[in-house]
A and B are shown apart, each in its own frame.
Chain A
Amino acid sequence: DVKVTQSSRYLVKRTGEKVFLECVQDMDHENMFWYRQDPGLGLRLIYFSYDVKMKEKGDIPEGYSVSREKKERFSLILESASTNQTSMYLCAIRLGGDYGYTFGSGTRLTVV
């Protein structure tokens, strides 16, 4: 089975800090995604990447950027963290064809 690893399970950062969330897959899948999960709002797409160095904005990209320099790694960057970015962040990969999407275990970020 494919493995999707998010580097931190819990993270506490201060307002204004630059924050990096990392997601690594152990196979060669092209499509990777960053979602944000908040109670009552479901999963909302922040950014996705369909290949190395390629990225597309999702529904809520404001305040975020991404980087994909290598196929296996997709990073989410909070340029200047704010308290309203306190959330659960989930990375996902698409398994190709119609084999679904697999999620990482998530990073719960608290901005104080």
Chain B
Amino acid sequence: GENVEQHPSTLSVQEGDSAVIKCTYSDSASNYFPWYKQELGKRPQLIIDIRSNVGEKKDQRIAVTLNKTAKHFSLHITETQPEDSAVYFCAARLGYALNFGKGTSLLVTP
């Protein structure tokens, strides 16, 4: 099956700085790459996604880039705010199901 590696596992930044989370996947047939944000005690929520035919996508302060050749994709958060503190999961779809990375715990300190 698909194997998704996510780094780093924890990330601490100061408010206003940028945060970058990186993921790699193993199967070149994966074609859809979403990112989820999970706040404490809540369900994962989709924040941005990218298809395999697109290299970059941006939505306000968040952006995702995809390098199909290298089989890696990244989440970029600019001008971080304390409310960005959460666990972030990357995922890759192969067939029907999403395969998730192990998560990155992001802490934004004021």
- Residues of A whose CB lies within 8 Å of any CB of B are 31, 33, 35, 40-45, 48, 50, 56, 58-59, 90, 92, 94, 98, 100-106
Taking a contact as CB atoms closer than 8 A, the residue among A42, A44, A50, A90 that contacts B96 in the complex is A50
Q: Using A43-B44, A43-B89, A94-B96 as known contacts, say yes or no to A100 and B34 having CB atoms under 8 A apart.
A: yes
Known pairs A100-B46, A101-B46; A40 contacts B102 (CB<8 A): yes
Pick from B32, B43, B100, B103: contact of A98, CB below 8 A: B32
A48→B44 CA distance, assembly (Å): 18
Chain B interface size range: 20 to 34
Contact between chains at B43 and A42 (CB < 8 Å): no
Give the residues in chain B near A31, CB-CB below 8 Å: 96
Residues in B9-34 with C-beta less than 8 Å from chain A: 9, 32, 34
Contacting residue for B100 out of A43, A56, A105, CB 8 A = A43
Known interface pairs A42-B102, A42-B103, A48-B96; A100-B49 also in contact (CB < 8 Å): yes
Chain A residue nearest in CB terms to B44: A103
Residues in chain A near residue B100, CB distance under 8 A: 35, 42-44
Q: A98-B32, A98-B51 are in contact. Are A45 and B97 (CB under 8 A)?
A: yes
Q: Which residues of A contact B102 (CB under 8 A)?
A: 40-42
CB-CB under 8 A from A35, the residues of chain B are 100
Tell me if B1 is interfacial: C-beta within 8 Å of chain A.
yes
Choose from A33, A40, A102, A105 the contact partner of B97 (Cβ within 8 Å). Answer: A33
